[in-house]
Amino acid sequence: MFLSLEKNIYHCVLNKTMYILDTKKNRFLFFGEEDTKRILCILNKNYITSDELKADSFIIGLQKEGLISLLTSPNKYKVNATTVNNAEAESIVWRVPEVQAPKRNFKMICHSWYYLFKVLLILKYQGLHSLIHNIDYSSKKIKAFKKPHYNRLLSFINALSRTYYYVPGKVKCLEWSAAVVLFALKNGWRFNLVIGIQNKPFMSHAWVEYDSNVILDKQSLNDSLARILTAPFPEDRLNESDKAPSS
């Protein structure tokens, strides 16, 4: 049998501690240095016999927690843990960004309400796993990527900063970022939703990226937080011609 992380499990190694984001159960887990070594060893080993499995209570425990699964063939996706030596003391007080758009657009207000309400409904009734699946599905519908249109993006974000007052639910960094990414993908823009963590004290934060640049948030997030999830393009490599947004 072959061992693999479940599809809903995202992880990174931070200061020799493995942090796991379980999107199905909407929870973070962390493992100490010794358990982190064991988990990485298990995943790198990949194959395990039935007798070895029965004798290893640690693997059985991971399986019961829904963290790893047993496959009949090797997983084609290689497991790579993002290793970061330090991520701490970043003071992040998130507020809904306000931008100056060229003009107020009623159609864009409707768009912003639709995407924000959609994100809130998915998170409330289906959870983070379904939201990430929806983002992945939206990216697969794009036939050809386009350069982001700067004014259109600002118009949407401006509308979003007004709409969030009128939706039934709390809008935080995750909801706001997911709405922006879904809108961007609908327009054929190659945007990513990123969730990062720090460990002293523990904190998670979500933001939007295009071509490795943070959109309307602290540019230092890439250096100060360890990213645990990037969707829908975890290994984004844009062409040089796609880098500059158009006006």
Model confidence pLDDT, tens digit, residues 36-65:
999 888 888 777 888 888 888 998 999 999
Are 204 and 113 in a shared domain?
yes
The pLDDT-based confidence of 84 (bands split at 50, 70, 90) is low
Query: Which of 59, 78, 97 delimits the end of a domain?
Result: 78
Instruction: Tell whether 85 is covered by a domain.
Output: no
Q: Record the tokens describing residue 64, joined without a space.
A: 């019961």
Answer with the residue of higher pLDDT: 80 or 139. Answer: 139
72 and 121 inside one domain: no
Q: Is the distance from CB of 197 to CB of 204 less than 8 angstroms?
A: yes
Is-above-0.95 flag for pTM? no
Whether 20 is in a domain gets the answer yes
Rounded percentage of the chain residues whose pLDDT exceeds 90: 49
Same domain, yes or no: 130 and 67: no
Residue 10 lies in a domain: yes
Q: Give all strands of the β-sheet with 9-14 in edge-to-edge order.
A: 27-31, 17-22, 9-14, 82-84
* Same structural domain, 45 and 110: no
> Residue 99 falls within a domain, yes or no?
no
237 and 135 part of one domain: yes
Q: For the chain, count helices (H), then strands (E).
A: 8, 10
- Give the number of domains in the chain: 2
168 with 110, same domain: the answer is: yes
Please tell me whether residues 188 and 233 are part of one structural domain: yes
Contact yes or no for 230/219 (Cβ under 8 A): no
Please check whether residues 56 and 140 belong to one and the same domain: no
What is the domain range of residue 130? 106-242
Same-domain pairing of 66 and 129: no
Among 78-87, 98-107, 170-179, 193-202, top mean pLDDT goes to 170-179
For residues 117 and 40, membership in a common domain is answered with no
Q: Answer yes or no: is 38 within a domain.
A: yes
The answer as to whether 57 is a domain residue is yes
CB contact at 8 A, 122 and 130: yes
Chain centroid, CA 111 distance in Å = 22
Give the residue from 42, 63, 78 where a domain finishes: 78
Query: Looking at 78-201, which runs of residues are DSSP E strands?
Result: 82-84, 191-199
* Tens-digit pLDDT profile for residues 190-230: 999 999 998 888 889 999 999 989 998 888 888 888 999 99
Residue 87 lies inside a defined structural domain of this protein = no
Let me know whether 48 and 112 are in one domain. Answer: no
- Residues 70 and 159 grouped into a single domain: no
Tell me whether residue 90 is in a domain: no
The pLDDT of residue 164: 82
Out of 78, 98, 132, a domain closes at 78
Identity of the amino acid at 186: K
